A = this chain, B = another copy of it.
C-alpha cells in the first residue's frame, strides 16, 4: 500500500456508515499515521453534555485500524481490531475533536498502534484520551481466522 495511501483508506472509510452517522471525516492518512476528526454535536453527548466516551473511542479505533492498514503487506485483505484500551484524560469539551493514530510496531500478523484524541477550540488543542490497540492483518490464506477475531474498526 505504498502509493495512494489516502485514497485506499478513504475508500474503506467511506464504507463505514457509522463514521458518517458521527459526522466524522478522514483528515489525513500516510504510511503509519491516520487522523480522523469529528465535530461536537448534541446528539453525540452523555448526561453532562460532553461528547460520549464511545464517540471518542470509535474514532480512535478507526484511526488505529487504518494506521495498521496503511502499512499492511501487499497481500493483506483486511485488518481486524483484536482489542484496545482507552484512558479518558479530560472531559471531551470542544468544538471538534481529532484522533491521531500511529503504528507502534508493525508485524506480518499483529500490529500495535497508539492514538491520542484532542479537543479543539479555535487554535487550541487539549489531550482528552489515549488508546493502545492490537490489530490483526488478514490475507487470503488467513481468512479462516476471521471467525476468531472481530472486524476492523469493528
The chain A residues found within 8 Å of chain B, CB to CB, are 12-13, 15-21, 42-48, 50-55, 57-59, 61-62, 78, 80-92, 104-105, 107-110, 112, 114, 127-130, 132, 134, 136, 142, 144-154
Contacts and interface: CB of A to CB of B under 8 A. Distances in A.
B88 A52 contact: no
Contacts of A81: 53, 88
Contacts of A105: 87, 89-90, 127, 130, 148
B108 A144 contact: yes
A136 B78 CA distance: 18
Given A92-B150, A92-B154, A107-B145, 11 more contacts: A16-B52, A53-B58, A54-B55, A58-B58, A87-B134, A88-B154, A104-B127, A107-B148, A109-B142, A114-B114, A128-B150
